[in-house]
Structure 1
Amino acid sequence: MAIRRDALAARREALGFTQETLAQALGVELSTTGRWERGTLTPQPWRRPDLAKLLKVSLDELDILLNPPQTMAAGRSSATRREVMVDAALLAGLIASEHMLGTHSEEPLRQQATLVSASAGVTDLHRKYQAARYGDVARRLPEVNAAVDALVAGGPARQRREALGLQCSVAIVAAKLATKAGDGEAGWAAAERAREAAESAEDTFGLAAAAYQRACALLRAGDSENAEQIAVSAAAGLRGQDPQSATWRGALTLISSVIAARRNDFAAARERLDHADELARWLGADDNIGWTAFGPTNVLIHRTSVAVALNDPRGTLATAEQLDITALPVGLNGRQAQFHLDSAWAHAQLVEDPQAVIHLLETERVAPELVRANPNARSLIEDLLARERRRDVPALRGLALRTGVAA
């Protein structure tokens, strides 16, 4: 039976590669990298030096990532996917340290293993956030943050840049979580920590991610002018002709389009959406580089959000009809929920309450924590309750009770 190589996938994601971009760098088919991670195909020996170089591991470490012990990967049926990932990553780190250091001293081995497992921990936070499991992220964040900070402060000097990259990435999660909770000030502070770590690591895309979160935090705090300036300036600074540059330019352009719409500048919003669409089409697929979920489907989701900001319910629904929400990568529950929430708003504005409730129920299904915490969702449910016709929308009352809108 094939054994999934979850630690191999975690290592790839921690370094900012998607399966597609890793395949491109190696000159192999996209399906090949996916089969490597599912355990149905093993890289040929002549591929392994290049793969190890891209993943920044030794050949010994790569061998463990490709051949996880069955007691870890398959024999522990009660283990979570994250536990399997961390176990395999820890063992890979131990072997790599012994190979490089020629010693079995416990302290160097512990440090090397901690760096690899911390990467898996940060990856796990991002996945949970995108799955709209905000409570899990909040509980896990302090532990992962402390581990990463310890690596930056006391880890091996040769690994400092990678540790700083992790520090930037975990601060991005903290910024997202704070902004999502409505705390723009805390979101800004976390985004600033991300920026400082990215500057120390000389990480161009970490700086782009920090700029995006700084803009989001300012927007949440009501400072749309400075938010727009940061997003536009950061996008203009990314001139590379590669998937990561295009992705971050696109993501920053999308947030700036929403900001333009909120100040009722339809022309600027449309121009930016069109530019983001060009970048997404150049990429050619819905992807998740840098945890952005940027791609053609995400551009359409932002078109619906721009129509909402412009108070255009018919435009919102016209765009929504073009969307195949299933085209998004698996696990992007938050993005799916935003699509359903925007659609629910549009139907409510047109007094199409049954359709609005259907979309709210879909929002609850894919992201129950979001619909309970999102002030726009709660406000929408309150508005629908104010004109409730139980015969037409029998599910509305139960939804209101579950989300705490009705007692």
Structure 2
Amino acid sequence: MAELLGVDRTTVGRWESGRIVPQPPQRRGLANALDISLQELDVLLTPPQGAGQDATGHQPSDPLKAGDPDEMIRREFLRILTVSGALTALPLEEAEALTESVRRGLPVDFARMNSHLWQVYKLARSKGSVYPVIRDQLTALNESLAGSRGSTRPLLSAAADLFQLAGEVAFDANRYSDATASYALAASVSKDADAYDLWACALVRHAYVDMAEQRYRQAAQMLGAAERLAGRGDDNLSTRHWVASVQAEAYAGLGDLDACEHAMDRAETVRDLTADSVNGGWLRFDGARLAEERGARYVQLGRLDLAEETLKGALGQADLASGQSYRRRGSVLTDLAAIGAKRRDVEQVVAYGREAISLARASASGYVARKLQTLCDEFGPLSRDHRVAELGAEIATLSAP
């Protein structure tokens, strides 16, 4: 089984014991090997509920466990959607009055608080540490919505903003269902607020979930809708450039080099905008990562010489960047290790792979761990080398609880 799927034997052993689950890129191959559908595989991988246990997996009399905050946040999401949807028919004069009160900081300047939360998320090594603060912000926002006689665009936009942040935290932790639900809520509330840029960004983030599961055609369709929405948004924002950058990834996944190059060229024009084109929160695309993103696309397309040159340049720029992200550097290192795997260069795979693993552990980043799991799919015959086998075993532990 391990040889058929291109993974280490210890990885299959951990799947069998239930210590870890196969990552999305591995699931399709596993389903094919077992001659079952992806839906049947999901059922097979889902542990049965014990008698008397609730949906979160604990006895009603047990103390709350680590998974409970996720369920609490999910309930807060649904509550906001219910309240905001019921209050969209607010008379114009009441809307203007409430808008002015929000602008003065009454009841809460949610936009400013959300912006602060995005900065905390950006700087946090462990993205999951932001969850308790998000929950507190959700509670305050719910109270503000429930205490008013209606809803306004500032409050709805703040809710859409917060949903996207929570989706990012869930996505980084490989909880795709929670991430998808968060982005869908963000899109729904953005629509009610007529916030086209927010709406487009929610679709972009949703497309990332599709691409993580290698559904590139569906991602391209989602991004096409995001492109149309961004066209109706603010020309001074970088929304349409971010859409183009992510479209390049979808096209690379589809093997379309020309479309990928054209999309990256459109993304490059972000440099023509002013410094005010990003808000540091739900829209952070400023072109600073274009080199590494272009390099990653070349890896997808098999253009290894172009990829290596581009990524090494991006790695040097990243080292000089202020407040360099562990996640960002780990992603570049993983791409460089993937180039080594495609070239059957054990030394390159191990050198870059080990550094990426150390960053994934230091940051608890599910994003880097997910990329490293994809790297294992590239090992092939290299898995017979004991150094590569050890590297694969270390990567497998990144997904363990």
Would the TM-score normalized by the shorter structure come out above 0.5? yes
Matches of residues 31-70 of structure 1 in structure 2 within 5 Å?
A: none
**Could you tell me which residue of structure 1 aligns to residue 144 of structure 2?**
151
2:217 equivalent to 1:251: no
**Could you tell me which residue of structure 2 aligns to residue 386 of structure 1?**
383
TM-score by length of 2: 0.60
State the shift of 1:210 in Å.
Answer: 1.3
- What is the identity percentage for the equivalent residue pairs of Structure 1 and Structure 2? 17
2:194 equivalent to 1:189: no
**Could you tell me which residue of structure 2 aligns to residue 208 of structure 1?**
200
2:97 equivalent to 1:120: no
- The 1:403/1:154 distance shift into structure 2, 3 A limit, reads farther
- The 1:367/1:149 distance shift into structure 2, 3 A limit, reads farther
SS in 1 for 2:397: coil
**Could you tell me which residue of structure 1 aligns to residue 256 of structure 2?**
265
Aligned partners of 2:188, 2:367: CA distance in 1, in Å? 33
**Could you tell me which residue of structure 1 aligns to residue 312 of structure 2?**
321
State the shift of 1:122 in Å.
Answer: 5.9
- The 1:292/1:354 distance shift into structure 2, 3 A limit, reads farther
Give the number of the structure with larger relative contact order, counting CA–CA contacts within 8 Å between residues 6 or more apart.
2
Aligned partners of 2:374, 2:225: CA distance in 1, in Å? 34
Q: Which moves more between the two structures, 199-208 or 147-156? A: 147-156
State the shift of 1:211 in Å.
Answer: 1.8
- The 1:329/1:114 distance shift into structure 2, 3 A limit, reads farther
**Could you tell me which residue of structure 2 aligns to residue 342 of structure 1?**
335
Aligned partners of 2:170, 2:265: CA distance in 1, in Å? 30
State the shift of 1:236 in Å.
Answer: 4.0
Output one character per residue of 1:307-336: Cα deviation in whole Å (capped at 9) or x when no partner.
222133333212113321145552543223
**Could you tell me which residue of structure 2 aligns to residue 227 of structure 1?**
219
Question: Unmatched 5+ residue regions in structure 1?
Answer: 1-107
Code of the residue aligned with 2:225 in structure 1: it is S
State the shift of 1:205 in Å.
Answer: 2.1
Output one character per residue of 1:221-253: Cα deviation in whole Å (capped at 9) or x when no partner.
5543332123133224434897753x1111111
Output one character per residue of 1:79-132: Cα deviation in whole Å (capped at 9) or x when no partner.
xxxxxxxxxxxxxxxxxxxxxxxxxxxxx99x9576237843663255325645
Q: Is the 8 A contact 1:297 1:327 kept in 2?
A: no
TM-score by length of 1: 0.60
**Could you tell me which residue of structure 1 aligns to residue 349 of structure 2?**
356
Question: Aligned pair count?
Answer: 293
Q: Is the 8 A contact 2:157 2:190 kept in 1?
A: yes
Output one character per residue of 1:10-58: Cα deviation in whole Å (capped at 9) or x when no partner.
xxxxxxxxxxxxxxxxxxxxxxxxxxxxxxxxxxxxxxxxxxxxxxxxx
Runs of 4 or more consecutive aligned structure 1 residues displaced over 6 Å after TM superposition: 240-243, 284-288
- The 1:140/1:269 distance shift into structure 2, 3 A limit, reads same
